[in-house]
Every structure is written in C-alpha cells, then in structure tokens.
Amino acid sequence: MARLPLLRMISLAFRQLLRDARAGELRVLFFALLVAVAASTAIGYFGARLNGAMVLRATEFLGADLVLEGSSPAREEQIKVGKELGLQHAQIVEFSSVIATDNGIQLSSVKAADSAYPLRGALKSAAQPFAQEKPGGGPTSGEAWVEPRLLTALDLHVGDAIDVGSKTVKVTRVLTYEPDRAGNFYSLTPRVLINLDDLKATGIVQPGSRVSFRELWRGETPALESYRQTIKPGLDANQRLLDGRDGNQQIGGALGKAERYLNMASLVAVLLAGVAVALSATRFANRRFDASALLRCLGLSRRETLWLFALQLAILGLLASLAGALLGWFAQLGLFALLHDLLPADVPPGGLMPAIAGMGTGLVALAGFALPPLAALGRVPPLRVLRRDILPIPASTWSVYGAALLALGLIMWRMSLDLVLTFALLGGGVIAALLLGSLLLLGLQGLRRGLAGASLPWRLGLGQLLRQPLAAAGQALAFGLILLSMALIALLRGELLDTWQNQLPKDAPNYFALNILPVDKDTFGARLHELQAQAAPLYPVVPGRLISINGEPVQELVTKDSSGDKAVQRDLSLTWAADLPEGNELTAGQWWTAQPTGDVPGVSVEAKVAESLKLKLGDHLVFTVAGVNREAQVTSLRSINWDNFQPNFFMIFQPGTLQDLPTTYLTSFYLAPGHDKEIIELSRSFPAVTILPIDALLEQLRSILAQVTIAIEYVLLFVLAAGMAVLFSGLQSTLDERIRQGALLRALGAERQLLIKARRIEFGLLGATSGLLAALGAELVSLALYRYAFDLPWHPHPWLLLLPVIGAVMVGGAGVFGTRRALNASPLTVLREG
Amino acid sequence: MGESILTAQNLSKVVPSTEGELTILHPLSLELHKGDSLAIVGASGSGKSTLLGLLAGLDLPSQGEVILAGHALSTLDEDQRARVRAEHVGFVFQSFQLLDSLNALENVMLPLELDGRKDAREHARHLLERVGLGQRLSHSPRQLSGGEQQRVAIARAFAANPDVLFADEPTGNLDSHTGERITDLLFELNKEQGTTLVLVTHDERLAHRCRRLIRLDAGHLVGPLEP
C-alpha cells in the first residue's frame, strides 16, 4: 500500500460508502445485517439477563443458605441440631387454599412465615398496587401481604379483610417481591403471605393435607456443612435438603428450554438474513466490476482496490451492526415487557457482551457471505474498461460455499453452544434445502412445459422465475419457512386448547375439592348433594412416596431425565378402591375381587408411570407413608383418560390396606355457573378443604399461553423481516436486468399493464408456492403434534389452504413494489445506456 | 520534437482459441513524443482496442515491449503498471465509465482523492467549469446527456495532469455535432496541458485532426500515414 496509506484509504472508503448510500445502493445489505444483528442481540440479552437474575439470586434463591423441605413438619431434633450449631433459623409453611371474600373466591398460594423469614434477601412490598416499593418487614399476626393480582381478581383494596380458611386477616400491604420466588415463572396462583402465628387458626393444615414445610437455615459454610452431614442420614423419605445450587438447576432446565427455542428462532432469522447478505453482497460486487476496473486504470493496485471495497463493507458492517445491536437491545426490552407476568420483576441489565456477540454475528455473516463475491473484485482485469464483456475469473464454488458454511457454522455454534446440534442442523438444513429445492425446481420446470402455450404475461412472469431457478427455489423456501412458523403459532394458540376443551363433556367437573377431613367427609358429601352438584365419589387419599422397587432404591433405578422422575421425586396421592374407577381401563393383570389374601396387598399402577419406572406385574414396591413403610405388589396396570377431570390416581391399593393411616378425601364436582355464593359458603364452612376452580385455572393457563405466543410471534417478526430482506435482495440482484428487459419490452410496444401483470404472475406464483409448502408442512407438523404430543384426534385444517393465497398476496405485493423502478424507468434512458 | 514518451517495439498479441492460436495483433513498432497525437483507425475487430490496451499497460503483449514514460511495462507486475498509470496516464472511454453512485463533481474528484490531493474539490470544480459543466456539478451521470457525460469523463481524464491520454472511441456514442464539440475540447486541453494523445476511432474526421495516424486491418499495420 505504498501509494495509499491506510488512513487515506479508510477516509476514501468512508466517503465512497456515503456516496453509495446516498445513491440507495446499500439499503438491502444494511437492512439484512441490521436484522441479523438485532435478532441475535435481542435473544442474547434475553438469555444473559435471565441467567444474570439467576446468578444474582444464587444465595437468596431459597431465602436461605440451606432449606430442609418436607411434606410433614421437621422433627424436633432436626431443628435442635441446627440451633446448636449456631445457625439462624426461620420457618415457613406453604399450601394452596381458596381465599374467600364477599366478592368471590380465588385459589391462592398461601405462605405462612415467622418473623425471621427471609434469611437471605428481603421481601419487598408497597402500600398500594404500583406504589413505590419498600424492602424489608413482613406481615404480623392478623395481617396478610398479597400479590396485586389477588386484589384485581377479587376486587379488593388494601385494608379489606380476607378469609384464609377459618381465619380472617386484613390485607395491609401489596407484596411485590419474595426472594425465594424469583425463579417461579409458572406460578398460576397469587401469593398470600401471612404470619406463622395465624396458621393454626386457619384450620387448614391437618394431618394428611398437602402442605410444604420448610426449615430455613443461614450461617457459616462449615456449620452448614456440618448440619447437612448430621441430618442427612436421618432424612425422612418426604424430606430433602435444598441449597441455592439445586434451585438454580431446576430453573436452569426450564429456562434452558425457553432460551434454546428463542435461539432457534433467532438462528432462522440470522440464517435468512445471511442469505440476504450473500445476495446483496454479490450484487454489491457485481455492480462494482466497472468501478474496480476503472480504479485499476486510475492506478490503484489490485490489493488497494480490494482493500478499498473491503473497507467499505467493513465500515458498513460496523455501522449496521451498531444499529442492529441498539435495535436488539430495545427489542429485548419489548420481549421482557411482553413476558412480564412470567419473569422476575427486577432482572439485571445484561452488560455489553450480548451486544458485542450480536455484532460479531453480523460481522461473521458479512465476512462469510460477502468476502467470496468481494474477492472477485480483485480479479477484475483493468482491460474491462475497454471491453465490458470481460468478467473476473469466478471463485471456485467450494470457496464460496465453504466460506458461507463456515460462517453459518460459527454463528450456530455460538448461539447453541452445541457442536452436535450445530452439525445436525447445518447438515439437515443443507439436505432439506437441497431436497425441497430440487422438488421446487422440478415443479418449476414442469410448469414451464405446461405453460408453453400460455399467454404472454404468463410466459414472461414464469420465464423470469425460471431464469434464476435457484434463487426462486431459495426464496420460496425462505418464505415457506416463515409462513409455516406463523401457521403453527396460530394453530397452537387457538385451536389446540379449544379442541381439548371441546372434548370435555358439558357437565365435566368444574371444581376439585381436596383435603376433605374424615370428620367432614359425610357432611361435605351431603352439602354437595344439597347443592345438586354432580359429584364424583369421595376418594380417600394418603400422601406417600415410592422408595424401592424389588428391593432397589428408586433413586438409583430412575435416571434423572426419565419421566418416571416425576413419580418418585414427590409424594403421590395413594388411594384404595374396591372397583375400577370410571375412565380407567385395565391393560394388564386382574382387578381384585376380594380382600387381600397374602401379607402383601396388591396395587394397580397407571400404565405410563409403570412404563417409565419399568414396572411389571408381580414387582414388589415399598412406599413410605406418614413415616412408616408399606409394601405392595403390582397386580394390574391401568390406562387413564386424563381429560375427564375426574380424580385420577397413579397408584390404587387394594381396599383395607391403608385405612389405618391419616387420610383425607378428594372429589370433583360440577356446579352450574352462577353459584359463586354457594362456593364461598362451602369454603367458609369447610376451611380445611381446598376448592380448585378449574375454569379459572384454564383461563390462567390460556392467558399465560397467550403471553408466550405473543413473545414467540414477536421473535418471528425478526424472521419475517429477514425473509423480506431475502426477497428484496433477490429482487435487487435482478433489478438491472429487469429494468433493461422492461425498457426493451416497452420500446417494442408493450403496455405498462402487461409488465405489471407479468410481475404479479411471477411473484404471485412464488408466494403461492411458498404458501403451499407451508400449508403442507404445517399440516404434517400438526398431525405429529396431535397424535404424539397431545394425544388428540387429528382433523385436517382447511384454513391452511389460505396460506398459498396469503403467500401470493404478500410476496406478490412486495415483489411488484420492489421492482417498481423497472416499470417506471423511461425506455429511452435505459436503451441509450446500452 | 520533444523527448520520447511512448515506444512500442515489435508488439504482438496472440490469444488461444478453439482453432488453435489466433494472432489478433501482428508485430508493429511505433514511437510517440511528448505533445504528439496519434489516431488508430480500422474496422471493427481489426485490433485497435487491443493495441490501445497494450500501449496503456492494461494488458501484456505476447511479444515485444512497451516503454511508457521510461518504464518497460513487460518487466513490471500488474501493481507496478498500475503505479505507472496513476502517475502518467489518463483515459477517456466510448462508454464514459462514470460511476453511477457519484455525481459529476465526485467522479472528477476520484483520481485526485486517490492521489490525496487536498484541493480535490476545487480543482475538480475548476475542471468541470472548464468543460462547461459548472452548473451541473451535483448531477448524477444518469441525469446528464451523453455529451455531458463524456465531458465529465474528459475532465476526470485531465484532472491528474497525465503525460499520455488514451481515448477509446471518445465520440463513438455521440451524435456528430456533439462529437465535434467533444473533439474540440479534447484537442484544446491536449494543447493546453501538453499531453500526448492516443485515440482509437472510427471517425475519420477526428482521426485526421491527429498529427499521426495508423490504420490496422485484421491485426496488421497497413501503414503509418502522416497527415
């Protein structure tokens, strides 16, 4: 670079870039980069900020350093040991209960805490909803702090009274933050926090009730470790020790899935944007052949010429990446806002890393996709100024696609951090693109033959598609993918839930009643009868945990990720029954006909649980129930229709085997709408009974689903933008030729209308093909989802046939718009240019 | 007669073709002095542009040598030849070769900017005024007529004050009246700046305004003719 020092080169490149930008040359390239960087930055921030929130709360995640959790209260000596070790102690009890007021009832998640709680972090509360929040404190006896959504649900105000079981407490503050609820994204029910002193008066916690007791500990690491070592051997089956790490792992799993999904969506956006970058960079290079030859004539060396263009692209890349990172940062704010109900309230900012990584993504995409076409500029012989037909020797196909694939691989690896997944996706993507692309090519060729005798606009429009069949197939694939994603979202959001609900019989139970005490059993049943509620039988329930199968501890038999995990990690509701309950069907073995004959009673196991635990008939199981071990032998397996909203059980024992243990009852019933008052009265007369309104739960589920799908649609906007970038860059790359062709046709006497018609046909066909691909794909995916994921009868979705129409209108409109210059250019100017 | 600025010795060009080697320029020699003007005429495909490309160092001969401003071009690599072009050569093309994304002023500024001239803008403006386009500085090439575009190209060619100006059919895309005016401009500037002019043309009237003329026929020199 003897002639041009770097600084002058940069300044020249910058000026040249500004001039090109002013001429509108760089819009599509800039836009494509912007989309790629914005998508990857937004998702990067999303993941980083959520992780940040987790790390920040590593210790306060549990509100303590160590927690002893169990479904029964901790034993005296378990608490004594900790206190002797000098650890700070707090106690909480959590359970679900219906909060009753004169305005209605609301299932809530009640936490009774002593005044020492929390040991790590602090509660935050406000005097009114949305008022300034204040850290510290907690409800004293007679008070309740509640989440704002409870106030909304029951039309309450601070100062009003609510009934928690038999105890009336006054709402004194609005609870805005609990340290140990930070990661609880899927909490369906609002929190009510009361003082532990009031717990007894509620009358809710009775032997056999489903309750979580937590002993919270805080202290120095050695003391904590010594506590852990001391009490670990003596833990009951229903008890476990938790520290911050455990909590993070659980959340990490759920989060990881969400993040991975969003990563995939943004990956699609980045890939499409990459294609757009490649197309527009090729055009950038092609349109600079003349300039390159001219610069060489003006005395620039090959290297200097190349540097000049490379610097232009680099500056453009940097600017677009900066703008994209900024856009991505704003976009993630939107994403957090959309998901505000599901996410922790105060998420730390993500720092600069996601923005830098997003910009890196853009620059790598630019390098991978734009360098090969750019390299051609260095090979333009200066003689081209005299003979314009001289073109640079093309780069080898391998170097072009190799660079692009390398860039893609790097980006995918960064976003998924999973080498196997990257290779699988990259390989699968290339194969799928090749297969579908070839199919599309064949289809287009078939069309060509079929339309040989068609009218002029059809032949012109189709001819344009067939002139660059690869580009056409690529664009059809890109748009097919976008339409497919949108169709699937629509399908999942609306229809699946509706289909499921429509399947329920009209009088399917709309309430569940749990924790019915034996003393209340008959009166509760009688009240339901008085209310003319259609109730299922009252099933006895004993909470118990499966601890061994054929003498081997369950924990060792079940791998962490198997679905059997769920059945052994928590207490199961064990019941007994003389008859096979309605909606159950035996799949193996025999239902008992008499009382147990041998020492070991029989148990009937739900078929899917049996499968995941690899249980067979005759297996010997041990359960721990209320501190004692009970044995049972598998005598039958059952399949259950879960959709009937009847009480269903994984494990049903032979009658008479668990009766001596603390038992509660549960049932489900249907009460026609408009009986809220009766339900309020019912829950007031039976404070220990938890009444779950199913409608409300479904409604909450639906609203959460709606939030999540909005977030997904939001991310899909990036995909759509990237798709648009592909379309426009594709259009741009053919624009010069279109202008020339249009001018020629008009010079030959073609009317403007003919050209418009040909364009409409061309892009309409392209869009309709994409739509058809999308409709077929969506139908296939829906078939798989209905059959295998949701276990619902599949039916065809005729509305998916709208997709080809939508595609034709969308792509057709954009296509005609994108090529309007070709219609408006004066034939004279164009032809004079030769 | 001044010192020699451009010499061609036994220059020939052979290209491979489907029917073996094809000689598109048979050996020829010539010598030009500072301030000289040479017209290369001939039918289409006679080898005119090939000769121009070789003389300007845009292409290398199969045999022979070109000495441009004291540099034997075949001993230089492409980048060194580019340096020679930058310092000594200007071009005017039949198809003008203006950059679409630049306006008239910026097109003329380009070689000056490459040279790092601080007064690029003023100098380019002055040149455009000289060729009569002082009012159209900010117009893009698309907004200019063919004659105007060629005037911009001429201003650009003279901007770096070259020793030799190569012009390839400079009036080929223009009507005869406009062509006449462009020719006048070319020769005026040639005279003002003492540039050596080498032009390829079909236009006999333009050719005869040059001091020297050579005619090519199927790659053969059919005689240097003094005007």
CA distances from A378 to A302, A305, A832 (A): 6, 7, 29
What is the structure's pLDDT at A252? Answer: 46
Long-range contacts of A2-8 (CB under 8 A, 24+ apart): A2/B83, A3/A299, A3/A300, A3/A301, A3/A304, A3/B83, A3/B86, A3/B114, A4/A300, A4/A304, A4/A308, A4/B114, A4/B116, A8/B116
Residue A505: pLDDT band with limits 50, 70, 90: low
Any CB–CB contact under 8 A between A12 and chain B?
yes
Q: What is the pLDDT of residues A47-68, one digit of tens each?
A: 777 766 665 555 556 678 888 8
Give the angle subtended at the CA of A602 by the CAs of A596 and A603, to the nearest 5°: 145
Q: Does B101 sit within 8 Å of A25, measured CB to CB? A: yes
pLDDT grade for A461, boundaries at 50, 70 and 90? confident
- For residue B7, name the pLDDT band (cuts at 50, 70, 90): very high
Q: Does B86 touch chain A (CB under 8 A)?
A: yes
Is residue B227 pLDDT above 50, yes or no? Answer: no
Q: Which band of pLDDT confidence, cut at 50, 70 and 90, is reported for residue B193?
A: confident
Q: Best of B83, B94, B99 to disrupt the A interface by mutation (most A CBs within 10 Å)?
A: B99
Please answer yes or no on whether B114 and A12 come within 8 Å at the CB atom: yes
ipTM for the whole predicted complex goes beyond 0.95: no
Question: Average pLDDT over chain A, rounded to whole?
Answer: 78
Chain A CB within 8 Å of residue B113 CB: yes
Q: What is the pLDDT of residue A492?
A: 67
Mean pLDDT of A521-531: 87
- Do the Cβ atoms of A383 and B53 come within 8 Å? yes
Kindly tell me if the per-residue pLDDT of A249 is higher than 60.
no
Q: How confident is the model at residue A171 (pLDDT cuts 50, 70, 90)?
A: very high
**Helices assigned H by DSSP within chain B:** 48-55, 78-88, 104-114, 120-130, 146-159, 176-193, 204-207
Q: Nearest residue on chain A to B143, judged by CA atoms?
A: A829
Q: Is B77 on the interface with A (CB under 8 A)?
A: no
Comparing A463-477, A631-645, B83-97, the range with the smallest average pLDDT is A463-477
Range A532-555 average pLDDT? 82
Q: For residue range B202-213, what is the model confidence (pLDDT) as tens digits?
A: 888 888 899 999
CB contact under 8 A, B114 and A23: no
For residue A235, pLDDT beyond 60 = yes
* Residue B222 pLDDT greater than 80, yes or no: yes
User: Cβ distance A345 to A177 under 8 Å?
Assistant: yes
Minimal Cα–Cα distance from A362 to chain B, Å? Answer: 25
pLDDT at A367: 83
CA distance A297 to A380: 11
Mean pLDDT over A561-587 rounds to 73
**CB-neighbour burial class of residue A668 (10 A; exposed 0-12, middle 13-18, buried 19+):** buried
Counting one residue from chain A and one from chain B, the pairs whose CB atoms sit within 8 A come to 85
Query: What is residue A250's predicted lDDT score, i.e. its pLDDT?
Result: 44
Chain A contact set for B114 (CB, 8 A)? 3-4, 12, 295, 298-300
Q: Which residue has the tokens 């501190």?
A: A627
Where residue B129 falls among pLDDT bands split at 50, 70, 90? Answer: very high
- For chain B positions 166-195, those within 8 Å of chain A (CB to CB) are 168, 173
Model pLDDT, residue A253:
47
Q: Regarding predicted confidence, which is higher, A757 or A793?
A: A757
The residue length of chain B stands at: 227
Min mean pLDDT across A77-81, A338-342, A444-448 is at A338-342
Of A25-29, A488-492, A631-635, B25-29, minimum mean pLDDT range = A488-492
Task: Check pLDDT > 70 for residue A822.
Answer: yes
Helix (H, G, I), strand (E, B) or coil at A171: strand
Which chain B residues are within 8 Å of A22, Cβ to Cβ?
101
Q: What is the pLDDT of residue A451?
A: 67
Measured between beta carbons, the chain B residues lying within 8 angstroms of A20 are 101
The confidence score (pLDDT) of residue A251 equals 45
Work out the mean pLDDT of chain B and round it to a whole number: 87
Do B168 and A386 lie within an 8 Å CB cutoff?
A: yes
What pLDDT score was predicted for residue A188?
Answer: 59
Of residues A637 and A459, the one with the higher pLDDT is A637
pLDDT for the residue numbered A185: 40
**E strand or H helix at A663, and its extent?**
none
Any B CB within 8 A of A4 CB:
yes
Residue A387 to residue B49, Cβ atoms within 8 A = yes
First to last CA, chain A: 36
Residues of chain A above pLDDT 70, percent: 79
Q: What is the pLDDT of residue A421?
A: 63
Cis peptide before A118 (omega within 30 of 0): yes
**φ/ψ of residue A368, rounded to 5:** -65, -40
Provide the pLDDT for residue A640: 83
Residue A830 pLDDT grade (very low, low, confident, very high; cuts 50, 70, 90): low
What count of Cα atoms within 13 Å lies in the side-chain half-sphere of residue A134? 10
CB contact under 8 A, A386 and B52: yes
Q: Any idea what DSSP says for residue A581?
A: P
Judging contacts by C-beta atoms under 8 Å, the chain A residues touching residue B83 are 2-3, 299, 301
Please check whether residue B67 touches A, CB under 8 A.
no
- Whether B181 contacts B131, CB under 8 Å: no
Once rounded to an integer, what is the mean pLDDT over residues A94-99? 84
Q: Is the pLDDT score of A101 beyond 50?
A: yes
Range with the largest mean pLDDT of A325-334, A690-699, A711-720:
A325-334
* For residue A290, pLDDT beyond 70: yes
Residue A245 has pLDDT above 70, yes or no: no
**B146 in contact with A, Cβ within 8 Å:** yes
The alpha-carbon gap from B2 to the nearest alpha carbon of chain A, in Å, equals: 25
Q: Is residue A562 scored above 50 in pLDDT? A: no
Of all residues in chain B, the one with the smallest CA distance to A304 is: B79
Instruction: Answer yes or no: do A832 and B146 touch at CB < 8 A.
Output: yes
Which tokens is A755 given? Answer: 């050209």
Closest CA to A776 of A495, A500, A499, A488: A488
Say which residue, A51 or A804, is predicted with more confidence: A804
Angle at alpha carbon of residue A548, lines to A543 and A549, rounded to 5°:
115
- A470 vs B38: which has the higher pLDDT: B38
Give percent of chain A with pLDDT exceeding 90: 9
Distance (Å, rounded) from C-alpha A817 to C-alpha A808?
14
Is B101's Cβ below 8 Å from some Cβ in A?
A: yes
- Is it the case that residue A611 has pLDDT exceeding 80? yes
Are A732 and A820 in contact, with CB atoms under 8 Å apart?
A: no
Question: Does an H or E element contain A346, and which?
Answer: none
Closest CA of chain B from A275, distance in Å: 25
